[in-house]
Structure 1
Amino acid sequence: MTAQRRFVRRTVLAVTASVAALTLAACGSDGDGKASSGTASASATATATGGHNAADVSFSKDMIQHHRQAVEMAGLAAGHASSAQVKSLATKIEGAQAPEIRTMSGWLTSWGEQVPQDMSGTDSGMDHDMSSSATPGMMSDADMGKLEKASGADFDTMFLTMMVEHHEGAIDMAKTEKADGSYAPATELAADVITAQSAEIEQMDKMLGKS
């Protein structure tokens, strides 16, 4: 091997190692509150796709809070519900909406927008009263207090009734995003919300004996 070929080979290896190191650093996370790989991925996607507007920002901020309340409601089922179907549905709701919160948070971060904190001003320990005339389907503090105190069959009925209303609000918000939004991943998520939550409303209506 000539000296020139050895030099070229060493240069290529060095560049490859540098690229790998930068990739690992970009995807990594530490304990100092830096973005996780999931949030970083969502931010990168948002930056690459671009083309967001005010409707996309409003949808993301409002739906984050809406999802947070649904996740809180779903979290009560394990200790309060008597129906295995209700518990299973609650687990499904939490499993679907928690990742969507992270995705929308990544979008907002990439757009230079503030990710809304929960109403207690922290990232955990939500204050219940997030209801707003501008956010359809949100439960009031009184509603959430009643749900927390209920158990057994009473909880099952109350949970399903409230979650149907909650889902209907989310569908309204998603329809607005589909009509007014310009950021493709956000309008696609809105379409997914409409499909998934419409199916869950149908399921919950059946569980309530409405159909």
Structure 2
Amino acid sequence: MKQRIAIIAGVIVLVGLSAAGALAWMNRAEPFNDRDVSFASNMVPHHVGALEMAEVILAKEGIPAEVQDLAARIEAAQQPEINQMNDWLKAWGTPSMAGGHGGHSMMMSGMMSETDMMALEDAQGIEAARLFLEGMIVHHKGAVEMAQVEVDGGKFPEAVALARAIIEQQTNEIAEMEVLLANL
């Protein structure tokens, strides 16, 4: 009799532990959410667009050194961020995004239109610098908006940290570009 009670008690404990484990597994916190995926999926082509703009201005002659320096810093900062976000998307089982100004991503906040991008490509010297700065200010403001959405609702700590860094860095660059634009 005592053995039966012990066996029944053991079974009850095992069933309870199994149920608790199953419940914990079902309620486990996902390491990322839809906002994180949306942030990375949209920010990658947005960053690619910034790289395209920077490449155009870096290939031109007659651009003020401060503007070229800014374009080089944008390239240096955003390419590693693109790589990191693509790594996250791959780990999350989400296709990575390419984008840029040639794709559907022109609808994203701050993306240059094809016409504006062609004007930048065709412009020379100070006019090219002006178009770059005006376009990149709008582009950065769009990135700051996108990053704020991630900060407000993202779950993946690394993505939220990157979003905060983007907000800080690009807000500082907006201020820098406004000064450069005023001094052209």
Shorter-chain TM-score range: 0.7 to 0.9
* Cα distance in structure 2, aligned partners of 1:56 and 1:129: 20
* Cα distance in structure 2, aligned partners of 1:87 and 1:79: 9
**How far did 1:76 drift?**
1.0
> 1:97-139: CA deviations, max 9, x gaps?
00000000000000111112337xxxxxx7266311xx21111
Contact 1:56/1:182, CA 8 A, preserved across alignment = yes
Contact 1:129/1:139, CA 8 A, preserved across alignment = no
Give me the CA root mean square deviation. Answer: 1.8
Partner of 1:207: 180
Partner of 2:136: 163
2:50 to 65, 70, 73: 70
Partner of 2:125: 152
**How far did 1:79 drift?**
2.2
1:55 matched to 2:28? The reply is: no
* Cα distance in structure 2, aligned partners of 1:138 and 1:82: 22
TM-score by length of structure 1 reads 0.69
SS in structure 2 of the partner of residue 131 of structure 1? helix
* 1:61-100 correspondence runs (5 A): 61-80=41-60, 82-100=63-81
* Cα distance in structure 2, aligned partners of 1:166 and 1:117: 17
Q: Which amino acid aligns with 2:153?
A: D
Aligned residues: 154
TM-score by length of structure 2 reads 0.79
* Cα distance in structure 1, aligned partners of 2:141 and 2:179: 16
1:130 matched to 2:116? The reply is: no
**How far did 1:55 drift?**
0.3
Where relative contact order (Cα < 8 A, 6+ residues apart) is larger, the structure is 2
* Cα distance in structure 2, aligned partners of 1:89 and 1:62: 23
Partner of 1:109: 90
Q: Which has the larger radius of gyration?
A: 2
Unaligned runs of 5+ residues in structure 2 are: 1-29
Partner of 2:113: 140
